[in-house]
Structure 1
Amino acid sequence: MSFLFVKIYYGPCHTFDRYIHKPHLLTGLKDRLQKMGFRVDLVPVRFTNYCMVEMCGHEVFRCNLKHLKFNTSYDRDPVCRRGVDAVITSAVKFRRGRACLWFWTLLNHQMFRRDKYAPIDYWPVDVNLQSFAPCKTCIQCCDMLVKEDVPKEEEKKPETYFKL
């Protein structure tokens, strides 16, 4: 789904003892987002005085529909301004997240890992990694793990206890 696609869910507004969907309350929000290059879909729902802005399946902004001004531009409506700011900041965050995920998938596909077809690494000193001793010999040689003194009652168990 595109970051430039926004769904606005709005419910019926309760005015003059009637419940009617009023998309005219969203004109400032819709017009401003469309001027900025977003594709806006208005979706009517059944919840009273409900307005929610969604991007990429995530809720970005929510408000009471009565707080938006009827048929007013973006400049004159503070709630509309907060909604547009929320959409802009979430679009930036989604773009950053996509770039991070793209980079990590590149690493997972072993794009930058070395194999026989990759360019040769030239080290200033020859490194021989097989010359190091395994860990088992370090335990016997350096006494890294020392046997713990076990009480006589627990000596009967076949397990050995070690402490670091």
Structure 2
Amino acid sequence: MPANARVTLYHGPYESSGVVQHRTFRLQGLQALRARGHKCVLEETREWNIVELVVSGEVVFRCNIKELEFGDGKLDPLCKEAVAAVENAY
């Protein structure tokens, strides 16, 4: 995977404190992709609770947004899995 890959990060709304809306708090750990030189583009989707990482039109990683941990992603195994999926996309 080239270091300057474009990664589209689709994220859906999820419920927190009784309110359903799009939030990016749980996506902060995926900033590890930017730190590794990839360009990340956030796109909202209507599908609840979903995060999908798309590289070259192919979904390379998918998870429930509520399973992502808050923080920088260094300790979150799902963030590590997402980075590996992007870097192994080709």
TM-score normalised to the size of structure 1? 0.51
After superposition, give the CA deviation of every residue in 1:14-56 in whole Å (9 maximum; x if it has no partner).
1222101111111111x21111110000001111101000000
Larger radius of gyration: 1
Equivalent runs, 1:149-164 vs 2, <5 Å: none
| Residue equivalent to 2:26 | 25
Question: For the residues of structure 2 that align with 1:12 and 1:66, how far apart are their CA atoms?
Answer: 10
| Residue equivalent to 1:138 | none
More strand per residue: 2
| Residue equivalent to 1:44 | 44
| Residue equivalent to 1:80 | 79
How many residues align structurally?
A: 88
Gaps of 5+ in 1: 94-164
Pairwise CA distance, 1:74: 2.0
| Residue equivalent to 2:65 | 65
| Residue equivalent to 2:16 | 15
Question: For the residues of structure 1 that align with 2:83 and 2:35, how far apart are their CA atoms?
Answer: 11
Amino acid at match of 1:14: E
Gaps of 5+ in 2: none
| Residue equivalent to 2:56 | 56
Question: For the residues of structure 2 that align with 1:88 and 1:35, how far apart are their CA atoms?
Answer: 13
After superposition, give the CA deviation of every residue in 1:97-123 in whole Å (9 maximum; x if it has no partner).
xxxxxxxxxxxxxxxxxxxxxxxxxxx
Taking only aligned residues, the RMSD between alpha carbons, in angstroms, comes to 1.4
Q: Give the 4+ runs in structure 1 shifted more than 3 A.
A: none
TM-score normalised to the size of structure 2? 0.90
After superposition, give the CA deviation of every residue in 1:52-81 in whole Å (9 maximum; x if it has no partner).
0000001000000000012x1121211111
